[in-house]
Structure 1
Amino acid sequence: AGGRGVLLKLSGGQTVVCDRLLVAAGRKAKGLEALQLDKAGVKWSASGIEVNKSSLRTSAKHIYAAGDCLGGLQFTHLAGYQAAVAAFNCVQAVGTKAPSPEAVPRCTFTHPEVASVGMSLEEAQAKLGFDNVTVSVRHLNHVDRAVCEGDTDGFIKIISGSGGRILGATVVANVAGEIASELGLAVSAKLTMSTVASCMHAYPTMCFALQQIAADHTYGALENNFALKCLRRCFGPRLLGRDDKGSSSSEDTS
């Protein structure tokens, strides 16, 4: 494109001009064919080895599998976790469970980093209904640590459901991977926003923003509490020194 950028010619005949081209074609484990898994009674396909999603046991009861050979999400941290689960289940009665895909943190190490864990907003709304999902967002220009470092491009978004249970999150920040790891704990442990709000975080850290987001959500839920609304309506004027008609309840001593 004039010696600068990239000109793409698509199969449909269209052309696209861009500054850079990122090829993210994915990958898959190699060499499964050479293992002769069929002879061992292990079912597999081009997508990977078939396993019980919880125990990671294959169709051969004495063989377990873990990592990229399973297909699906391919992360070092996930493969390591799966390997530990498979090893434990090999030497003891099956009981250790592999993590659900929702609990696996994902991070793209650009600048800023882009990380996510758990359900997306669309997934949560499709599963629970539009009215049963809450989105809480805090932009980094309202996060003191980011302001101090002059790196305010990004945000933290937390998806929560009924009772404030944390379902997922997306983070765009310089240390998004670290923040998403704490949120991954919240998702896997089924923590609520009020629980995170009650957990003291060091200030000023990026994760302090998680406590702030959770606290804002919790206070907002309290404001909509029916009992508190009734108390506020009945006693609010008196606490402000007014009677029910809005006039001052104190006597004029002048």
Structure 2
Amino acid sequence: MASRSYTEQTIKQLFGSAAGRCAFRSCRRKLIYPATEQSSTTIVGDIAHIVAFSNDGPRADSTVSDKERNSFENLLLLCAACHRLVDGQPADYPDEVLRAMKTEHLDWVDGNLENKMSDIKFPELEVVCRRLISSELADSTALNSLPPREKISLNDLGPSSSKKITMGLMQAPLVAEYLQSMVTHVDPDFPPRLIAGFRDEYDRHRSTGVKGDGLFLLMESFAAGGSADFERHAAGLAVLAHLFQVCDIFETAS
């Protein structure tokens, strides 16, 4: 029997898309606790299977391959208590209920991100950008190399990614203002090093064959820093959307 092994990309997609929260609609507790001066980051979430991992598990389906069972589409992020509940009462939580729960949770995350987008200020951008910058400088890149809609199509991004980009671009002027303030008052090389940090992460995942919405979700998770706080997540999405619009982190030519 295959092992319960998940790729780095799958884990990041799962936690990032769920905003580090339990997907059970009456729970949605934070599952990521940031590091403190005394302790490292602690994750209290479980990776639950919609179709069971084993053929004798809850919601088992022998026609589903091992690869499909461990894929992002078949996984749900839950706290330990909710995980035990859905697996302990599979007749009440069949696969179609869990898939609907996942979709509902992703919509809930989007709604919270949109609500928090207007609250972003320089301090939130400072926290996000300082963590993402690289020690290297990015090569110069042309601004507005493609209109966003054309770039979305070229990168095979679907409605979910397109919605996130549109949402993040609500704060594009603020991100541009923040980056200009860093150039003027703090560090003239700040934007190129920020771009380099994103480009390194993009190239690392792209080299493994990930693309489309999966790749965008990985970049969104990277920008959010694995945080379960919507303010941090919204700030990261705003930075990612701005860089998507003005530079060549994503593909700009076929």
Higher relative contact order (CA closer than 8 Å, sequence separation 6+): 2
Q: Which has the higher strand share?
A: 1
Alignment TM-score, normalising by the size of structure 1: 0.25
Asked which structure has the greater CA Rg, the reply is 1
Q: Which has the higher helix share?
A: 2
Alignment TM-score, normalising by the size of structure 2: 0.25
